[in-house]
Chain A
């Protein structure tokens, strides 16, 4: 159950997976005579989701509680190379699909001068904006974790990184594809039709074993930070096709196409302003190539009202040239957010956001707050609500899913 692939592939998958693990362990074995700095950390916690309205989609349960465990084992060799192991486990009361295990990280990092070789399962983030993460493509979204698409599944890879005076070049070989996770029948925050991940369809005959490639250049030039990449391989974002299950019930089936994607991210800092831009050009998903762009600014007021508090104002626009046929709900929207950093010993923070569709009346608000209690506990409270979603909107099916989510984690 490490990867949610096809049943018929599972045996082959495990054997190749086992081979990958042995390779990583072999590397560690080679360096066993060096000094280890064993480190054990991570978090364990509970989460409750309470919804304002009763569920409207068949099979959904009203509220949910879940348990999460995310330990982390790390050690560093005296030459700077390191090994990281991060398993992730969640048990959910309402949704069988949300009860899942994932290998977030199992990486050996070999460091030599300004060259890094990272081998194994990892997470890589690209991008600069706050609301939509357009250019981020290496890792698949863990769609059952949160609607903000910031939780990712571990991606197996070989990554070479060269840092030079003129910039950093990263080469990625991605030997195995991770399918996106979707809420199951019992879960909320989903489309009316359940996405049946066991029936995923691939454009490539190699299915999840298609080898994907990416190359990225990044550098900073004074106040500018720039990243430019090209990706060839299986698109992380599926096209959902209408289908039926064995008993003739309507379902959705994810189709993973072969794409070419070029992405650019730029940030520019000028005094208290931080300007951001992300753009992608994608070919291979659907019949037409398309581009999508997001950008905006972040401005921070420091020490507001003569207190220690900082207030950041974030404004971003999102534009996808596919319009309503886009595979994402945010295709032509404006986002405005306020971030309050209290700068107290408990690191209290609040982020209040507002999203408005430019053409439709559809809008949504969210509030995310967090505070530490003692040295090890952290409470996070999130509220999300959407209004006036037209039937054509991808979020229409979630119109009853305004939620209050409370998460209490213990960090060790």
Chain B
């Protein structure tokens, strides 16, 4: 018994167990924990207002609604519906994200009443002319990146993990992203995006987090600044409703056609 105790004590005190976690393992552990905390929301609907600003400060506004369904064992299903500008009203995007491989995407064009399958392989394309790329707004899965913890740092008074994630999927617009995630509630406060030449391209800052269902934290505002063009986009979320009873059948081509 004593020998077992000694063995155990030695084992737990041994420096081996302390250094066992490499920065990569620590980064992955953070991402896994973050993902775990976001699991189980079921479904949600929300409104988004996107304000695009060019270098001269001229603004352009888009009103969008979002419906998302959590899919067990795979990426989320989502329906994005455009209300403004008026000439694209009724345009809707159906997206089945996958943990690995390309997403399945269909676009509904209301003037022609046409549903069009679209290629999703190039995730670096602009989302509705904004500074957000498709890969920035689709569901974030652990499998989509490799991770590396860099340091701990205080950002605006919040203790944060700072880690780097590198896309594992093809055709990303980024070599890497540096993420500031607060240690207490696992909320992303800042992301630096580095382009394919590894130069700083964009910075996303999230503000005004609110907690839903006593578990899920969502930012009310996402601000994306493009350092290379001077353009920026503010994405404001409102009217979050969780567990609204959305089902699998709310996300097919028929529901896309009547989404509006």
What residues make up the interface of A, taking CB atoms closer than 8 Å to B? 41, 43, 74, 82, 109, 111, 113-114, 116, 123-125, 127-128, 150, 161, 163, 168, 218, 220, 222-223, 225, 267, 269, 271-274, 298, 300, 302-303, 308, 310, 343-347, 372, 375-376, 378, 409, 411-412
Decide: B86 and A41 in contact? CB cutoff 8 A. Answer: yes
Decide: B126 and A271 in contact? CB cutoff 8 A. Answer: no
Q: Flag the segment in B8-16, B17-25, B31-39, B54-62 that touches A.
A: B54-62
Please give, as numbers and ranges, the residues of chain A lying within 8 Å of B121 by CB-CB distance: 269, 271-272
Contact of A343 with B254 at beta-carbon distance under 8 Å, contacts A274-B118, A376-B86 already known: no
Decide: A271 and B119 in contact? CB cutoff 8 A. Answer: yes
Please give, as numbers and ranges, the residues of chain A lying within 8 Å of B170 by CB-CB distance: 271
* Residue in A closest to B255 when the chains form the complex, CB atoms: A163
The answer to the question of B117 belonging to the interface, with a C-beta cut-off of 8 Å to chain A, is: yes
Decide: B122 and A272 in contact? CB cutoff 8 A. Answer: yes
The answer to the question of B221 belonging to the interface, with a C-beta cut-off of 8 Å to chain A, is: no
The answer to the question of B88 belonging to the interface, with a C-beta cut-off of 8 Å to chain A, is: yes
Decide: A347 and B129 in contact? CB cutoff 8 A. Answer: yes
Contact of A163 with B112 at beta-carbon distance under 8 Å, contacts A300-B119, A310-B125, A345-B129 already known: no
> In whole Å, how far is B121's beta carbon from the nearest beta carbon of chain A?
4
Decide: A303 and B125 in contact? CB cutoff 8 A. Answer: yes
Say which residue of A41, A82, A267, A308 sits within 8 Å of B89 (CB atoms): A41
Decide: A220 and B87 in contact? CB cutoff 8 A. Answer: no
Decide: B249 and A113 in contact? CB cutoff 8 A. Answer: yes
The answer to the question of B243 belonging to the interface, with a C-beta cut-off of 8 Å to chain A, is: no
Decide: A345 and B60 in contact? CB cutoff 8 A. Answer: yes
* Residue in A closest to B58 when the chains form the complex, CB atoms: A345
Say which residue of A150, A163, A267 sits within 8 Å of B117 (CB atoms): A267
- Chain B residues numbered 112-136 whose CB sits less than 8 Å from any CB in chain A: 112-122, 124-126, 129
The answer to the question of B173 belonging to the interface, with a C-beta cut-off of 8 Å to chain A, is: yes
Chain B, 91-124, contact with A by CB distance < 8 Å: what is the 0/1 string? 0000000000010100000001111111111101
The answer to the question of B210 belonging to the interface, with a C-beta cut-off of 8 Å to chain A, is: no
> In whole Å, how far is A112's beta carbon from the nearest beta carbon of chain B?
11
Say which residue of B60, B61, B85, B117 sits within 8 Å of A269 (CB atoms): B117
Please give, as numbers and ranges, the residues of chain A lying within 8 Å of B118 by CB-CB distance: 269, 274
A161 to B104, CA, bound (A): 22
Closest 8 CB pairs of A and B: A345-B60, A411-B86, A302-B122, A343-B126, A271-B121, A125-B113, A411-B87, A125-B114
A125 to B115, CA, bound (A): 8
Decide: B249 and A43 in contact? CB cutoff 8 A. Answer: no
> In whole Å, how far is B213's beta carbon from the nearest beta carbon of chain A?
23
* Residue in B closest to A377 when the chains form the complex, CB atoms: B87
Decide: B87 and A43 in contact? CB cutoff 8 A. Answer: yes
Decide: B254 and A150 in contact? CB cutoff 8 A. Answer: no
The answer to the question of B28 belonging to the interface, with a C-beta cut-off of 8 Å to chain A, is: no
* Residue in A closest to B61 when the chains form the complex, CB atoms: A375
Please give, as numbers and ranges, the residues of chain B lying within 8 Å of A378 by CB-CB distance: 87
Decide: A168 and B84 in contact? CB cutoff 8 A. Answer: no
A-B contact pairs, 22 of them (CB 8 A): A74-B260, A114-B249, A114-B254, A125-B113, A163-B249, A163-B253, A163-B254, A168-B252, A267-B117, A269-B121, A271-B121, A272-B119, A272-B121, A272-B122, A272-B171, A300-B122, A308-B129, A345-B60, A345-B129, A347-B88, A375-B84, A376-B86
Contact of A125 with B112 at beta-carbon distance under 8 Å, contacts A308-B126, A411-B86 already known: yes
Contact of A346 with B60 at beta-carbon distance under 8 Å, contacts A109-B258, A168-B253, A302-B171 already known: yes
Decide: B260 and A161 in contact? CB cutoff 8 A. Answer: no
The answer to the question of B80 belonging to the interface, with a C-beta cut-off of 8 Å to chain A, is: no
* Residue in B closest to A165 when the chains form the complex, CB atoms: B248
The answer to the question of B235 belonging to the interface, with a C-beta cut-off of 8 Å to chain A, is: no
Contacts A111-B258, A272-B121, A412-B86 aside, 19 further interface pairs with beta carbons under 8 A come to A41-B89, A43-B87, A114-B254, A125-B114, A161-B254, A163-B249, A222-B104, A271-B121, A271-B170, A272-B122, A302-B122, A303-B125, A345-B52, A345-B54, A345-B129, A346-B60, A347-B88, A375-B86, A411-B86
